[in-house]
Amino acid sequence: MFLKRLELAGFKSFANPVSIEFEDGVTAVVGPNGSGKSNISDAVRWVLGEQSARNLRGAKMEDVIFSGSETRAALPMAEISLVLNNEDSHLTIDYSEVAVTRRVYRSGDSEYLINDHPCRLKDIVELFMDSGLGKESFSIIGQGRVEEILSSKAEDRRAIFEEAAGVRKYKQRKQQSEKKLGDTEDNLKRVRDIIYELEAQVGPLEEQASVASEYKAQKEELKLVEVGVLAEEIKTMHADWTENKQKFSEIGARKQRLQSSVERLEKKLHQKVRELKEADAEVEELQKMLLKISEDTEKQEGLKELWKERKKHYSQNRQQYRKELEQLQDKRSQLERVLEQEKQSWQNIHEKTSATQKKLAEVNEKMNNIGENKEAELEDLKSEYIDKLNNKTSLSNEFRYLEEQQLKITASLRRKEESNTDLLKSRKEQQQMVEKIEEEWNQAKEEVTAQIHLWKEKNQSLEAETRKYDDKESLYYEGLRHLQQMEAKQDTLETMQQDYAGFFSGVKHVLKERDKSFPGIHGAVAELLTVPAHLQLAVETALGAAQQHVVVEDEATGRRAIQFLRDRNLGRATFLPKSVVKPRNIPAYELQKLNTYEAYLGVGSDLVEADSQYEGIVNHVLGNVIFATNLKEAKSLAQSIQYKFRIVTLDGDVLSPGGAMSGGSVQKKQGQLLGRQREIDDIKNKISILREQTETLEHELKEWKNKKLKWKQDLQQLADQGEDLREKERKSKMKLEEAKLHYDSLQTRLRVYDMETQETIEEKSANEKRIEQLKSEIEKVSGILKTSNDRIQELSNRKEHDASLKSELLQQQKEFQIALAKEEEQEAHALRALERMKSEYQALTKEIIEKDEANSLIEAELSEQAVDASSVEVVLEEKKQQKQELIGKVDKSKINRDELSKAQREIESELRDTVNQHTYHQEQHHAVEIIINRLDVELDSRLGHLQNEYELTFEAALKEYPLQQALEEAKEKVKLLKMGIEELGEVNLGAIDEYARVKERYDFLLEQKNDLEDAKQTLQDIISEMDEEMTSRFESTFTEIQGHFKDVFSELFGGGKAALELTNKEDLLSTGVEIVAQPPGKKLQNLALLSGGERALTAIALLFAILRARPVPFCVLDEVEAALDEANVQRFAGFLKDFSHNTQFVVVTHRKGTMEEADALYGVTMQESGVSNLVSVKLGAAEELVEAGAVKEGQI
């Protein structure tokens, strides 16, 4: 493998793209200080993956991009491509040629490519790993690396040997393994901590799970027996219930027709009520739709006006662009004609140059033919004469050429001075014109800026106000929606209150009839109490069904109500006569105990409000109920009063007398009995506030719409004025750009004339000096020629003809060469003029294309605007038609609603008459109903127990749990089983699943711990193996380098001795490396005690020893021999030449001895300030040409 090519573009001082071709052997890069030659070694280092800007002699990575100069702008990107010949597959990639490319942009973004395929930096680093190449390998050695060897501590110097030993990848892998080992130890520690915690849980959970299993077994046995008992009891009771139900049906047959009529009328009434509500909703929905259609119509009309204004604006822009496009096309036509003239001029010069080249080739061919006829026997005699003759000829030709040039230069200077005077005058006139136009343009800009500023201020104010009122509009519609929701909720709650929704059937009927038939009825308990919101759930739980108990004046009223329900078969109700109901109280001494607890909230009767006449009722239903904050604290209260009274918490949990507990989650229902009136009042207050807010917002929005319309008109007027001013500014700008372009052209021509004049003057001065020098040299050479000619005349008589011919051909050759140089210069000048015209033509063409594209965009926009405007017209007509249709639908819906209301009133009247008749017949079978109700209660109790406790129906219980023994024996067994379950105490049923879950996790973590311990041991083994491998590699490499170092040192110094010593031979993984040297004639001493040159040569000896031990395909050396004297440079260059048989060298140098040994030279120059350029010379080919030329000339 070898380095084939390096391509640079925009890298540091290489602004122009540069390609460096490398051959086998030594390639030297030379140039003066500051020319940028070291940037080539930086380029190689950078493309191989260098990430440190400091190592590239910069502060940040963007510093590698060409930053511009006095005459050049900064470039946006730097790119380096390194091309390698990989035919020997030295790199592990399936390509015979590998091109590695790296780019960096000023934005900080980077790109990496291998053979033009995008890749990562990591891929490039891995490609060169262990190949002997890379940014840290010995393929790139700079002065910094030499200084590193000289100045490093012994421990730091070790890194050089590690790199040569190839242990870098092992160190990286070791670091990765050590990191994994640390992570594994952390994970192992966490797992051990968790296992320790779980071990404390497994034992207690196992014991609790055992108790829970025993509890479940006894519960299952209890279920088996108790379900059988319940099923047998239900079976017996159901038979009694069936018998009484038959009697009840026979008695009730007479009132069946009336009941059917009532039900039919109620159903019909409910249907009408529902239809009336639907009609109301329909009217409301249609009115909303009508409002929405009206708003949409206004919006479409606004869009219609907007489209008209936009169309006008785009039409004006289209006319302006067309005018500008025509002007540019005329200008391009003129430029095309000039360009064609320049092309013809260049073509004529090119043909003339080709003809001269052809003539020169013919002369060269004749000279070669003459040379072939010479005989070798005269070479030694004529060599001196030929040299001097050639010298004289060259001097004479140069003398004549310079005299001709002086005449031409004098004429040229005279012409340039005349042209320069005319250009100066034109430039002054053009500058005055530019200043005048620029003043006009600045004034136009200020007017446009002021107008834009005024428009922006006005528009920003409008936008701010619009956002403000948009928010208000959103609030308005949100308020309307919320108001409608609240009104609907109010209607629902008031309807529920009027219909007594949620009350039992019997209670509902009694309360509805109280004003007509039962004046002594005060209402349900839930209606008479006022409960704080935070206590509502607790009071509801405490009251339970008592919320629906009906408070009556006396027992007589209660009896009449019960008879009413019985006669009409309307259900049941519980009545609380004020005259006889006794209050329930908690003794004062018990209350004193409770007052000592913070969780005690009070007795229920003290926490609610009611009219004073209902004090007895309140004490009856809540006087013995205690309220507490939570269940945990409630238990403490219950224990203090020996579980005598019921305790209710704020969450609705209950501790019953005797110790029973109930609780859990409670679903909140809308319109609960307690607090229903409070909720209605709250909603009414909110509706009042919302209605006031929405009316205020509606008034503000109406005022805003009028204000907004006026504002938009003002904005449009400002926009129109601004467009006129902008058009004026655009015209001034175009005029100014044209004037500046002409001025810049004159300025450029003046600079070119100045540069050419200065160059011409300098050339004239140099020619004058050279002419005087040539005169002296020609006289001296003529004398020498005469003496030499006398000595060889007798041997050259028969060759006079050839000599004469040769002289004539040489004269022709010089003349043609002079003519050719002049013609080539004229051709280059014509070509530059042609290229400049082409660039100007291309820029103009680009501007025409851009104008044409802009015009096309406007045409497309106008077409699109036409389609949109048409769509708006169609939508507007549709909205107007929909509005008329909705008005008709609203009127029709209102008529339908009035008809339904009338029908509802007629059905209600008929229903009242039928109900009165039905009530009379119902009283007759009330007695039978009492018996049935008692059986219902007992059946419900047992069926409820089956359902709540065992989640079974009666049929399933009778089928799945047949009684296996006598009923009384089974009841006794149930009693014993319940006692056994009670003795088990509190049971954690979740312990069974919790124990299984914890045990499973505990076992899993034990397995994880074992796996982590195995992984830890494996990582420790891997680290040990890598330590052994690194030790072995370091030791063998160090031994090999040490041997080569001794040899190379002796060869470089011409004698002496040197050695490498380890600071700690017991620990090869951390030992340092000391260098001791004994130059010829000195004693053995440490590197630090040597002179500067000796230290540098010793460091170079070490580098050559490393390269001998670990050869690399190519090596870039950056001024490593800078500190050496000339004699040592010669030795260094000789070593370089010897090593070049196995390693390709690229040497950045300014030392003559190194250049002499190079096979190819690249010169780095900076003719343009801040921009580096390359000049290449292949020395081998040059030597061959020189030798061939000398042979041919010797045959004259």
Three-state SS for 952-998 is: CCHHHHHHHCCCCCCHHHHHHHHHHHHHHHHHCCCCCCHHHHHHHHH
pLDDT of residue 1193: 38
Range among 13-22, 261-270, 367-376 with highest mean pLDDT value: 13-22
32 is in an annotated binding site: yes
What would the two tokens of residue 157 be? 């110097």
pLDDT of residue 1074: 85
Contact yes or no for 528/617 (Cβ under 8 A): yes
36 is in an annotated binding site: yes
CA 649 – CA 666 distance, rounded (Å):
13
Alpha helices in 923-945, H assignment, sequence order: 926-945
pLDDT interval class at 360 (50, 70, 90): confident
583 is in an annotated binding site: no
For residue range 571-590, what is the model confidence (pLDDT) as tens digits? 888 999 998 888 888 888 88
pLDDT of residue 709: 74
For residue 260, pLDDT over 50 is answered with yes
Which uninterrupted H or E stretch holds 141? strand 140-142
pLDDT interval class at 647 (50, 70, 90): very high
Beta strands 1144-1148; 1114-1118: pairing state: parallel
pLDDT interval class at 1196 (50, 70, 90): very low
Please list, residue by residue across 786-810, b when 16 or more beta carbons sit within 10 angstroms of its beta carbon and e when fewer do.
eebeeeeeeebeebeebbeebeebb
pLDDT of residue 1190: 40
Q: Residue 573: helix, strand or coil by DSSP?
A: coil
35 is in an annotated binding site: yes
Beta strands 26-30; 1144-1148: pairing state: parallel
Looking at CATH, the fold of the domain delimited by 375-494+693-794 is given as Helix Hairpins (1.10.287)
140 has which bridge partners?
A: 1116
Contact yes or no for 188/1013 (Cβ under 8 A): yes
For residue range 369-420, what is the model confidence (pLDDT) as tens digits? 664 444 544 555 566 666 666 667 667 766 776 777 778 778 778 877 777 7
For residue 824, pLDDT over 90 is answered with no
pLDDT of residue 618: 92
Instruction: Please tell me the least confidently modeled range out of 379-383, 817-821, 1054-1058, 1071-1075.
Output: 379-383
Q: Which residues contact 950 (CB under 8 A, 6 or more apart)?
A: 223, 226, 227, 957
Higher pLDDT, 568 or 347: 568
34 is in an annotated binding site: yes
Stretch 95-111: mean pLDDT? 90
Stretch 1057-1068: mean pLDDT? 85
Stretch 901-917: mean pLDDT? 70
Q: How far lies 591's CA from each of 551, 602, 632, 650, 653, in Å?
A: 28, 9, 19, 19, 21
Higher pLDDT, 1184 or 893: 893
Domain(s) of CATH 1.10.287.2610: residues in the chain: 375-494+693-794
**pTM strictly above 0.85:** no
Domain(s) of CATH 3.30.70.1620: residues in the chain: 503-669
pLDDT of residue 622: 92
- For the chain, the average pLDDT equals 78
Report the half-sphere exposure of 349 (CA within 13 A, side-chain side). Answer: 22
For residue range 918-947, what is the model confidence (pLDDT) as tens digits? 666 666 665 666 677 667 767 777 777 777
DSSP state of 1056: -
What proportion of the chain, given as a percentage, has pLDDT over 90? 6
For residue 436, pLDDT over 70 is answered with yes
For residue 138, pLDDT over 90 is answered with no
For residue 979, pLDDT over 50 is answered with yes
For residue range 1123-1181, what is the model confidence (pLDDT) as tens digits? 888 888 888 888 888 888 888 889 999 888 888 888 888 899 888 888 888 887 665 55
DSSP string, 289-324: HHHHHHHHHHHHHHHHHHHHHHHHHHHHHHHHHHHH
Give the residue carrying structure tokens 């501007």.
Answer: 847
Which uninterrupted H or E stretch holds 1118? strand 1114-1118
For residue 258, pLDDT over 50 is answered with yes
For residue range 726-785, what is the model confidence (pLDDT) as tens digits? 777 777 777 777 777 677 767 766 776 777 778 778 877 887 887 888 788 878 878 777
For residue 102, pLDDT over 90 is answered with yes
The CATH class, in words, for 503-669 is alpha beta
For residue 5, pLDDT over 70 is answered with yes
For residue 650, pLDDT over 60 is answered with yes
33 is in an annotated binding site: yes
Please list, residue by residue across 357-379, b when 16 or more beta carbons sit within 10 angstroms of its beta carbon and e when fewer do.
eeebeebeebbeebbeebeeebe
pLDDT of residue 379: 58
